Amino acid sequence: MLETDVLVIGAGPAGSAAAKHAALGGADVILIDKKSEIGTPKRCAEGIYDHGLKWLGIDPDPQWAVQRINGGVIIAPDKTRLTLDESILPEKGYIIERKVFDKYMAMDAARAGAKIMVKTRAKSITNDEDANGSFYLVDCEQMDEMIEIKTRIIIAADGPESRIAKALGINSTTKPEDMMAGVQYEMVGVNCERMDLVELHLGAFTNGGYAWVFPKGDDIANVGIGIKASSEKLAIDFLNEFIQSYPPLHNAKAVELNVGGDPIGGMIERIYDDNLLICGDAAGQVDPITCGGIILGILGGMTAGQVAAKAIIDKDYSHERLKEYSIRYDEITHGAIPKLKKAHDVFRSLSDDDLNQIVHAFYGLDYKNMDPKDFIKVAFKLPIRLALKLGTIFKAIF
Ligand SMILES: Cc1cc2nc3c(=O)[nH]c(=O)nc-3n(C[C@H](O)[C@H](O)[C@H](O)COP(=O)(O)OP(=O)(O)OC[C@H]3O[C@@H](n4cnc5c(N)ncnc54)[C@H](O)[C@@H]3O)c2cc1C
């Protein structure tokens, strides 16, 4: 039997960040993942924004930050293109190579002192008590063998299909309408006007989501679509129709297919319990509007790891002690996820005609010489119903 202070289940970005920060805080840490290669297969469009990286203290590394992104293009249902590039936007970003990034994050955890075990799947968990307090015993399958890990704290970072939190009594089920079904090809031969801007295609054809083209360098891009998981038509049918309808993709060929879900219904009811912390997709730490979960998940992992290490030093693994994680996460994110969820509900209610009107209102403006008040004036030129909806979305984002 192996023994540790903190067992992190899942070596995605959230789990690796948790393992790193628990180890830096002085705890003995084991990080397990059921995959034989961390980061593969990817289930991500690989977009990340600069201020998120700064927030986390992660310097972009050319090994994984493969394409500089200078802004984006919003494409309305009537194909009006609203370009928000470096001449307007202060914020930039990267398309990253997740297969490299996830390993880089796990290596960082290892360098901080965490023990990494790949091809190790948590199968079942029981709890017990000894002279030092309560603990969990986790049965894991490693290759064809069963091993047992005794731990004071579990950090569940087991991704969008998370089972760990539920097995430990937390209501973490995602309703079908709160699950984004994503499907994506990595394609070569893509010929967008600018290969340093992300493209977001809006409209009813995405059934409550959006389609994207995220350039990855040269003529390569992630081309995907995220729709409501409860849709009657398959996401891949929506995606294939989009590719056929969009000329810059007519000569593009797929070299990879990525399929995955993402919880966009906001955070689960409770992200901590006795001897337990939950982070990343498993906790619903995802922006419901963009479906971005890398930054918010790492932030969750980092905070969970720090709180776990302190709890180990204090020898107090109770939910009262671990509650600090939830409080700190809300403080750091300024309660962003519930606000973004509200904004997403409004976004989903917009018809194609509404989206066209909004994009037209913001098309061709002299953004460089506009201040926030000017944006409000533009919004209020729209019908009042739309202006109010837009106000709710802006309030959540900015
Ligand atoms: C199509 C699509 C596009 C996306 N695009 C973006 C984007 O552009 N930008 C962005 O920020 N986010 C994006 N996301 C979301 C992002 O990919 C996730 O939010 C992020 O990967 C969450 O990280 P995580 O560490 O919580 O979980 P994951 O990365 O899912 O990692 C969970 C890990 O847990 C392991 N695991 C699960 N169960 C067990 C077990 N029982 N035992 C051991 N190991 C286990 C898995 O093998 C996995 O490695 C996208 C998602 C999808 C589906």
List per-residue pLDDT tens for the chain, 398 residues long.
999 999 999 999 999 999 999 999 999 999 999 999 999 999 999 999 999 999 999 999 999 999 999 999 999 999 999 999 998 888 899 999 999 999 999 999 999 999 999 999 999 999 999 999 999 999 999 988 999 999 999 999 999 999 999 999 998 888 888 899 999 999 999 999 999 999 999 998 887 789 999 999 999 999 999 987 767 788 899 999 999 999 999 999 999 999 999 999 999 999 999 999 999 999 999 999 989 999 999 999 999 999 999 999 999 999 999 999 999 999 999 999 999 999 999 998 999 999 999 999 999 888 878 887 888 888 888 999 999 999 888 887 77
Q: What lines the ligand 1 site, CB under 6 Å? A: 9-15, 32-35, 43-48, 121-122, 157-160, 182, 184, 224, 260-262, 280-282, 286, 291-294, 297
**161 C-alpha to center of ligand 1: Å?**
9
Ligand 1 pocket test: pick from 123, 125, 158, 168 the residue with the most ligand atoms within 8 Å of its Cβ: 158
Report which of 113, 100, 3 is spatially closest to residue 60, judged by C-alpha positions.
100
| pLDDT at position 378 | 87
Question: 200 with 242: CB under 8 angstroms?
Answer: no
User: Three-class SS of residue 278?
Assistant: strand
CA of residue 381 relative to chain centroid, distance: 34
In angstroms, the Cα distances linking 217 to 67, 252, 344 are 5, 14, 30
Would you mind telling me the total number of residues written for the chain in this entry?
Answer: 398
What is the per-residue burial (b if ≥16 Cβ within 10 Å, else e) of 238-277? bbeebbeebebbeebeeeeebebbbbbbbbbebbbbbbbb
| pLDDT at position 303 | 98
Question: 125 with 137: CB under 8 angstroms?
Answer: yes
| pLDDT at position 368 | 79
Measured from the CA of 39, which atom of ligand 1 is nearest?
49
Measured from the CA of 38, which atom of ligand 1 is nearest?
49
Measured from the CA of 214, which atom of ligand 1 is nearest?
8
| pLDDT at position 276 | 98
Within the chain, which residue ranges are assigned CATH 3.50.50.60?
2-44+99-174+265-333
In angstroms, the Cα distances linking 227 to 113, 119, 201, 344, 396 are 40, 31, 12, 13, 21
| pLDDT at position 233 | 83
Measured from the CA of 293, which atom of ligand 1 is nearest?
19
From the candidate CATH numbers 3.30.1540.20, 3.50.50.60, 3.40.50.300, 3.40.50.10860, the one assigned to the domain spanning 2-44+99-174+265-333: 3.50.50.60
Fold of 66-95+176-263: D-Amino Acid Oxidase; Chain A, domain 2 (3.30.9)
Pairing of strands 276-278, 272-273: antiparallel
Closest C-alpha residue for ligand 1 atom 35: 10
| pLDDT at position 397 | 75
| pLDDT at position 27 | 98
Within the chain, which residue ranges are assigned CATH 3.30.9.10?
66-95+176-263
| pTM recorded for the entire structure | 0.96
For 313, other C-beta atoms within 10 Å of its C-beta total 11
